[in-house]
Structures are given as structure tokens and as C-alpha cells.
Amino acid sequence: MVGISAFGVYVPAYRLSREVIAQATGARASGGGRAVAQYDEDALTMGVDACWECADNYARSFGIPFAATNLAALFFASASSPYREKHASSVLAAVLDMNRSALVTDINGSLRGGMTALGMAVGALKEGSPADAALVVASDRRMAAPASGEEQAFGDGAAAVLVGRENVLAGVEAHVVVNANFPHFWRREQDPYVQTTDARFVEDYGYIPLMNEALKGLLKKAGIAAGDVAKLIVYAPNARLAVRLARKAGFNPETQLADGLLKSIGDTGNAQVFLSLAAVLAKAKPGERLIVAGYGDGAEAFLLRVTENIGKAEGCRGVPEFLKRQRPLTSYAKYLNFRDVIGESSYDAFTSMALLWREEKQNMKLTGVKCTACGTLAFPRRRVCHHCGAKDQMEDFKLSRRGRVYTYTNDYLYLNPDPPESLAAVDLEGGGRIFCQVTDVNPQDMRIGLDVELSFRKLHDGQELPNYFWKARPAIGR
């Protein structure tokens, strides 16, 4: 059986109330709030966090360490990748330290990219690939025009699912694709913001008929009725439309329609259905059937059957833990600054391509060195041991992503759109120390002994190229 063996989610800490947006723009508030990526986050960094969450959840569920070297493929689906010409998935694969012969690719330009990637992953494993699994990552940080309805509707987030043959939580029973040239949301090369047209038209002649066709086709292919499905998980730009679709397709919205998290997080594009699926799987029971359907230039739907393994996923970290850590963003101007709509979110520093290439193992893979003469760990990497003086007697040492603050300072002079800049020396589990910036933290919450996790973040743009490194953030759910 091929199916989902693990899931991981990531939702940024900041929440911008739609009332704050309405007060600043003169619009009518639609209620609730939206997740807002920090100034140092983009679709790629959120995708990295979702991958690590997925890996950690797999280890929690089955007691087996996640091995990226066993992945047959990695698919990164996003409508808001930081690159227009370059694979963001290549950066992700470097961070995960994947096998260089694995298939690594981006699926950009459509909100249905995550569903397409899931279909490709399932197909690759069914065709008899010798590898154990494939990883699907869906992440979006879409830009909406200030004062537009989409500005209130959109939210930022990411999710990842591990597709495999072993330790399956939910097996894939059927899959249906409906392709159509229908422009609902679009963004051209020169457009800074997502575009859309008359809502009633795209709903009546695009979303409803296309999604309904996919759902009806899936039920027919599987030979089941709508009533046989425990939960219907669909992409929808608003909750009203999801309810309307469910009724049209013969489902009961009150009992079968899953929460799309639109009120608490927002429309997260490619990530939306996967975030909702993760929330459903956390409460699912063996034998239940789930339908997951995505939308964009057509529609795509999967029928999943929950297995007995789902009981092992009870300790997994999911949507509730990320919702609990939310921090209110009370300034609309600060939100615009995060988005580089006004001001600059970071300084433009010099970037050396040779340096980025040479230090990939250190900066991307979080690999330090261990002195073979005395056992001392060092990060950044070095040739000479600072403890015993041994030269060129070093071996690679993979650092942990968890640790505790040894000492810290809050710098109010450093250029930071979310001041102050917190800097800390972090003692990592298993050994090693890293000096890095701390993000997603209130300055009054900084303290010696604070449990933290390392998060892959954007440092700055140098020579028009995003530069990434690791920052610490307060541990989630601890």
C-alpha cells in the first residue's frame, strides 16, 4: 500500500487581525485573523520547517529516525517561491542532506501544485522505485494588494507529507484529475500581487463545477457514496464557498466538511488542504475514508483510507501547537514592512558565491566538526582545534536543532523590522554551541536556559540573491 506515512505543518507565529487591516484601509473586516510570515521568512524557509516537523513526527510515531537519503524524490509546490529561475527544492534538498541522485523539483505557478506533487509521489512509488519514500512540501506566502479582499483572506503557512509504502497512516485508494484553462487566481511575471476577477463568475463557472466534477468522479471511480466519507477536505478561498461545494457534491457540511482554518490562519494557497488534512489525521480513526481535493486550473482529488497505524501518531506535533504560540501583530505598517511594501526588511549585504558554495555543508546542512584527538566540537567549522591545537584532525559532526540559551543580549541598534535583535549563544543537545540570532521571541521572554529550536531563515539579500542561515526560536509545544 502506498500512502501518507507522516505529516508536518508550519504556521508563522504572528497573527494579524482582520480588524487591524480594516481600520487601516477603510475596508470591512471579515472576522478572525491571518497568519503572517516574519520578515525573515518566505515560502522556502517555511517549507524547511514543515519538512523537519514531518521528519520529527515520523520518528515520534514509529521510533525510526527519518533518513533523507532514502527519499526517491522531493517535490516543492508553491505559487510564491522566492525564485523565478532556480529550484527552491534544491536548497531544501541541501538542508535535508538528500542523496544527490534523487529527483528534486519545483511545481510552481498553481494552487493545485501540492495535489499534483502528491499524485507524482504516489505514482513514482507505485511504479516500483527501489527507494522507500518521497516527500511533498507545499508552502505559500502570497502577496495581495493592500486594501484588497485578498489581503484579508490570504495567510502564510506550509505543510509536508511523507509518501511511502511502509508505516502508512492513510493509504491512497483513488485519484482523479480534472484539467481546465480557467483563470481564477493568476500572477504574471511583472505583477507584484495576485490577481483575480469577479468573484461570482469564477465561483459559478470555475470553482464549483470543476471541484464538483472531481469529487463526483472520485466517488464513481471508488464505487462509494458521499455518505461513506468521514471528512471532506477541500481547498476554498472562503468558508462560504466550501459549504456550497459540499452541498452541491452531496456531502453534509455540518458533519463531513473539515475546517479549512480560514478564520484562524487564512487561505494559505498550496498548503491549505495539507494543513487541514494534518488536523483531520490527528483525530482520525482506523477505517475512515477521507477525501482531499485541491483547485487551480482544474481540480484534483484523492480518496484516503486511514489505517491502524494512525494510533501511533497521537504524540505528533500539529496544527494546535502552532495555533497556541501565536503572537498578535498590532501594526498594519509593520506588516507592510515585513512584506517590503514600505521600507526594507533587511540590509543588502555583500554576497560571495564562492563562499556560499564552500560553506554549504556548514550553513545549509548544519554540520560542524569534531576533533578526533580530543573530541572537542566546533561550529563554525575549523581546521585547528581550539582546545588541544590539533591541526586537520577533524571529522564531520551533525548538530542537533534543539538546545538551550547559554547567554544572550537584546540589541536595539541593529537594523531589524521587528526590534530588538536578540542574539544568543545556544548549547545544543548532543554537544556543540552555536551563536545566532533569535527570532519569534518577545525581548522580555529571553532568558538563560530558554529551550529553543533552530529554524532555517533568510538573513538578507546580497547581490539580489537570498542568503539563508539558522536562527533560534522558542521551542514549540514544550
pLDDT at 128: 65
pLDDT in tens, 382-394: 999 999 999 999 9
One of 3.40.50.720, 3.30.420.10, 3.30.70.20, 3.40.47.10 is the CATH number of 3-338, namely 3.40.47.10
Closest CA to 263 of 5, 440, 19, 13: 19
Q: What is the mean pLDDT of residues 146-163?
A: 96
Strands 402-411 and 421-428: antiparallel
Q: What is the mean pLDDT of residues 419-430?
A: 96
Q: Is 188's pLDDT higher than 70?
A: yes
Mean pLDDT of the chain: 94
Closest CA to 339 of 27, 41, 14, 11: 41
Q: Please tell me whether residue 475 adopts helix, strand or coil conformation.
A: coil
pLDDT at 461: 84
Bridge partners of residue 4, in order along the sequence: 163, 170
Residues of the chain within CATH 2.40.50 domain(s) are 353-366+401-474
The pLDDT confidence band at residue 21, using thresholds 50, 70 and 90, is: very high
Cell numbers 546580497 correspond to 462
The pLDDT confidence band at residue 348, using thresholds 50, 70 and 90, is: low
pLDDT in tens, 217-249: 999 999 999 999 999 999 999 999 999 999 999
**This prediction's pTM:** 0.96
Residues of the chain within CATH 3.40.47.10 domain(s) are 3-338
DSSP string covering 59-81: HHHHS----GGGEEEEEEEESS-
pLDDT in tens, 273-283: 999 999 999 99
Percent of the chain with pLDDT over 90: 89
Cell of 84: 523565478
Q: How far is CA 101 from CA 49, 166, 358, in A?
A: 23, 22, 21
125-134, 136-145, 200-209, 314-323: the lowest-pLDDT one: 125-134
Q: Say if CB 403 and CB 452 are below 8 A apart.
A: yes
Task: Determine the CATH number of domain 353-366+401-474.
Answer: 2.40.50
Q: Say if CB 467 and CB 403 are below 8 A apart.
A: no
Q: Say if CB 137 and CB 275 are below 8 A apart.
A: no
pLDDT in tens, 358-412: 999 999 999 999 999 999 999 999 999 999 999 999 999 999 999 999 999 999 9
Q: What is the mean pLDDT of residues 348-357?
A: 80
